[in-house]
Structure formats: structure tokens, C-alpha cells
Structure 1
Amino acid sequence: MIRLFATDLDGTLLKRGNIIKQEDIDAIGRLHEQQIDFAVATGRMERDIIRISQEIKHDAHRISQNGAFAHTKNNDVILANTFDVATSKALHKAVSAFTTPFCITTADEAYISFKTPEIKAMDDYAYFPIVEGVDFEDDYNDEFLPSRYMLIGDEKDILNSQKQIDEAFHEVSESYQSDPRCVDIVPKGVSKAAGLTALAKHLHIELHEIAVIGDSFNDIPMFNMTPHSFAMSTAPKTVQQQAAHVVDDVFEAIDFIQSKVSTS
């Protein structure tokens, strides 16, 4: 029996231009009718999930920044992972050495080294425009710590940079390609799967009672934690191969699990 349905945002529930299909919104509404809980697991920040939940008029448990933070829909804090001061300074210096733009997120804000025309265009669709300027390498303290560094640019360039970061910081960080043009660097042990596992424990839900859907490499840990996994048909083939099912839309996955619930 499925007791929790978790969806990624960008490229999954959230289409280009921050569009959510009405069929998906309606399907999320039907989850409540069968007492299936709803969660969002995304690389985006918690504030984005809150805004989207308000727009679709459905509360959600919130796994944000690829699992760095986890909150229940009642605002209970389950996880809050950041880098320590020394690691933050070292990573800041390392990513500053690359020529591609890099982004730094804390629990409350997102900063970028410089805005390319592409990034400026993205601001038009962002719920919260990113802040330009990262001149705070020496300002990290226990009250101001990053939860994620992001490398942005051509896939070949950022993957090469990712390799260098992994070699230098593998003991304290992990990295994921969250988009063909974006690599996320997060504290060791952080993943959407870890965030969902902590949430499931808090809600007294077994992992096999969770269904998940996503479209990118950072969703693969979710796919591996439960037999009820769905990849979007727009996902890279290597991502699709890690999921139990491939669908075109979120509502198709919800319809599938609801048909299983109704016949069980």
C-alpha cells in the first residue's frame, strides 16, 4: 500500500515557465481522498515549495535543496544540513577558481557569482530572483553557513569542475548533476533519498510505502529507495533505466498507484 507520494519539481511537476498542469493538480487532490500523503523533493529551496504549495492549494511535506533540509507540512524540522565554517571557506575558494558562474544557497537565500544573459532570463520565471554577488568568503559563521554550492555552465565544463571538486572534497561533500547545465555540491550524506527516509521515519512510514517521481540524476537515489519509482519520459535514458516505470506526466504516476490501492 502506498502512503506517501513524493515528486520532484523542475522537469517533473513544474514545467518550463513554472507551469503546472491542471491534470497534475487535480491528481494531487485525489491523493487525499485515498489517504495518501504528499511531498515535494527538489533541488529548489524550501521557500519555493511553500509558494508552489500555495499556488496549487495543496500542503506538502518539503524536502529541499536535494535533501539538505526536510520539513513536514506542519513545519516540523526533520533535517537541516550545512557545511561547517572551514569547509565553507575552502569550497568557496575552490569554486571561485572556475570560470563558470557558481551559486551558493543557505537555508534562506540564493547568491550567484555573476549573472549571464541566460541566468538573467531565468530571473523572469523565478519565484525569488537570485542575489548577485558572493563576496563573503570570510563572513561564514555559525549563523551564516551554506547548504549547497552549484556550478552552472556547459555540461562538459561543469563535469570537469565537478571531478576536481570531488577529488578534493570527497570526504566532506557529494555532488549531483541536477540538470544538464548544473552540478550541485552538498554536504556528505545529503540526498533526496536521505531526506525522504528521515521524513518517513518521522511519519512512521515504511520505505516500500513511498512512491516517487523525478527526471534527473539527483532523483536516482529516490528511485533506489523504493520499488514504486517513476521517471519522466523526458529524462535521460540512463535516469529512466533506474526507475520501475516511465510516464509522461505526474498524474499518470498518481493514477497508476491509485489503481493499485483501489484493487488491493
Structure 2
Amino acid sequence: MVKLFATDLDGTLLKKGNIIKEEDKDSIKRLSDNGIDFAIATGRLDRDILEICKEINQSAHRVSQNGTFVQTKTNESIYTKTFDVSNSKAIHEKMRKYQNILCISTKDELYISKITAEMKALENFLYFPLIEGIDFLDQYGESIHASKYMLLGEEQDLVKIQTELLSHFTDNIESYLSDPNCLDIVPKGVSKAEGLKALAQHLQMEPNEIAVVGDSYNDIPMFEMTPNSYAMSTAPAAVQQKASHVVDDVFEAIDHITNAVKS
């Protein structure tokens, strides 16, 4: 029996332009009527999840930055894993050698190497402004605690960079394509699945009692964690193949789950 439903944001609950369908909002509200708890698992910062919660008028357990941070709906922090100072500096120096735009996340901020016209347009769909400037190597461990690195570019180039980075930092990083044009680098052992497992343990439930929905490569660890997995029909074929079901919308996944509860 499903006890917790977790959704990805971009490309899943959030449609183009940060639009959330009313049917999805209504279905999330119905979860509690069926005794099912609600969580959001995303590559975004926790502050973004809180804005989404305001929009849908629902509290949620929160797995942010691909599992780097996990907080309950009552704001209890139950898991945190950031890069240590030496790894932060080594990864920073390695990644800024690429020509790609580099983003660096901390718990509360998102820094970017350059705000181009394209990034300025993208910023309109972010809930908080980007901070231009990443020249703070000497601030790691003091005012800057890196939780995630991102490189932006063409998918074929990012895949090559991903292979190189994984080879160079084998024991220190995990890497996911959160979007065809965005490569995420997080601490070793971090994933949405591990974040949800930490949440499940806190809530005294098993991973197979969780249902998940997503659309990107960084959602695959979630799909592999539970038999109750749903991929969006807009997801790449390789992502869809990892899920138990394919749906067009979040509310379809929720309807499938709640109907099973009733039967």
C-alpha cells in the first residue's frame, strides 16, 4: 500500500512557464483523504519548494538539490550532505576550465558564472534571482558551503564532460542530467532515492510504500527504488523505460494510486 507520494517539479508538476495544472493541484489535495502523505523531490533549492507549497496550498516533505537536503513538512532537517572544503575547491577549479556556464548551489543561494541574455530570460521563471560571480575559492568552508554544481550546455557536450568528471572524481561525486541542457554534480551517495529513503525511515515506512513521478535522468534512482514509479510521457525513452508506468500528468499517477487504495 502506498503511504507517500513524491513528485519531481520541472517537467513534471511544473509545466513550461512554471504552470501547475488545476487537476494536479486538486489531486494532491485528495492524497490526504486516502491516507497518503505528500513530498516534493527536485533538483531545485528548498526555498523554491516552499514557494510551490504556497501555490498549491499544501505542506510537503522536501527533498531538495537531488537529495542533498531533506526536510519534513514541519521543517525538521533530517539529512544534509554537502561537499567538504578540499573537494569543493578541486571541483570548482576543474569545472570552471570548461567554457560552459557554471552554477554553484549552497543551501540558500544559486551563484552563476555569467548572467547572459538567455539566463536573464530563464531567471524570469525562477522564484529567486541568480547571483552573478563564482570567484570565491577562498570562501569555501567559511561563507560558502557548496551543495551542488551545475554546468549548462548542449547535451552531447555535457555527456562528455560528465564522463570526464566521473573518471576524475570517482570517489567524491554523483552526476545526473537533470535536464538535457543541465549537468548536476552532487556529493557521492546523494540522489533523490537516498533522500526519500532517509525520509521513509524517519516516517517509519518502507521504500516500496512510496510512489514517485518524474521526467529526467536524475529521477531514475527514484524509479529503481520502488515498484510504484511513474514517468512522464514527455520524458526521454531511456527514462520512461526505468519506470513501471507512463503518464501524461501528475494527477493521472495519483488517480492510479488512489483507485488502487480504494479497490
In the alignment, is residue 234 of structure 1 matched against residue 230 of structure 2?
no
Distance in 2 between residues matched to 1:132 and 1:153, nearest whole Å: 18
Match of 1:146 in 2: 146
Q: Which runs of 5+ in 1 are unaligned?
A: none
Secondary structure of the 2:257 match is helix
Shift of 1:93: 0.3
Secondary structure of the 2:139 match is coil
Distance in 2 between residues matched to 1:31 and 1:246, nearest whole Å: 20
In the alignment, is residue 12 of structure 1 matched against residue 17 of structure 2?
no
Distance in 2 between residues matched to 1:160 and 1:51, nearest whole Å: 34
Distance in 1 between residues matched to 2:117 and 2:165, nearest whole Å: 26
Distance in 2 between residues matched to 1:50 and 1:157, nearest whole Å: 33
Match of 2:125 in 1: 125
Q: How many residues align?
A: 263
Secondary structure of the 1:254 match is helix
Secondary structure of the 1:15 match is coil
Q: Which runs of 5+ in 2 are unaligned?
A: none
Residues 85, 142 of structure 1: 8 Å contact kept: no
Match of 2:80 in 1: 80
In the alignment, is residue 197 of structure 1 matched against residue 192 of structure 2?
no
In the alignment, is residue 163 of structure 1 matched against residue 168 of structure 2?
no
Match of 1:69 in 2: 69
Deviates more, 1:142-151 or 1:34-43: 142-151
Deviates more, 1:238-247 or 1:149-158: 149-158
Question: Which aligned runs of 4 or more in structure 1 are off by greater than 3 angstroms?
Answer: none
Shift of 1:142: 5.0
Match of 2:256 in 1: 256
Q: Residues 142 and 136 (structure 1 numbering): CA distance in 2 closer, same or farther, change over 3 Å?
A: closer
Match of 1:43 in 2: 43
Residues 229, 243 of structure 1: 8 Å contact kept: yes
Distance in 2 between residues matched to 1:125 and 1:213, nearest whole Å: 22
Residues 173, 187 of structure 1: 8 Å contact kept: yes
Secondary structure of the 1:138 match is helix
- C-alpha RMSD of the superposition: 0.8
Distance in 2 between residues matched to 1:58 and 1:219, nearest whole Å: 22
Distance in 2 between residues matched to 1:65 and 1:144, nearest whole Å: 16
Shift of 1:122: 0.5
In the alignment, is residue 217 of structure 1 matched against residue 221 of structure 2?
no
Shift of 1:159: 1.6
Distance in 2 between residues matched to 1:121 and 1:43, nearest whole Å: 20
Shift of 1:144: 2.5
Amino-acid identity (%): 58
Match of 2:175 in 1: 175
Shift of 1:137: 1.2
Distance in 2 between residues matched to 1:132 and 1:170, nearest whole Å: 29
Q: Please, what TM-score do these two structures have when normalized by structure 2?
A: 0.98
Secondary structure of the 1:70 match is strand
Secondary structure of the 2:202 match is helix
Secondary structure of the 1:66 match is helix
Q: Deviations over 1:10-53 (max 9, x none)?
A: 00000111100000000000001111000000000000000110
Distance in 2 between residues matched to 1:159 and 1:207, nearest whole Å: 30
Distance in 1 between residues matched to 2:202 and 2:149, nearest whole Å: 28
User: What letter corresponds to residue 22 of structure 2 in structure 1?
Assistant: Q
Distance in 1 between residues matched to 2:255 and 2:30, nearest whole Å: 9
In the alignment, is residue 185 of structure 1 matched against residue 177 of structure 2?
no
Distance in 2 between residues matched to 1:121 and 1:17, nearest whole Å: 11
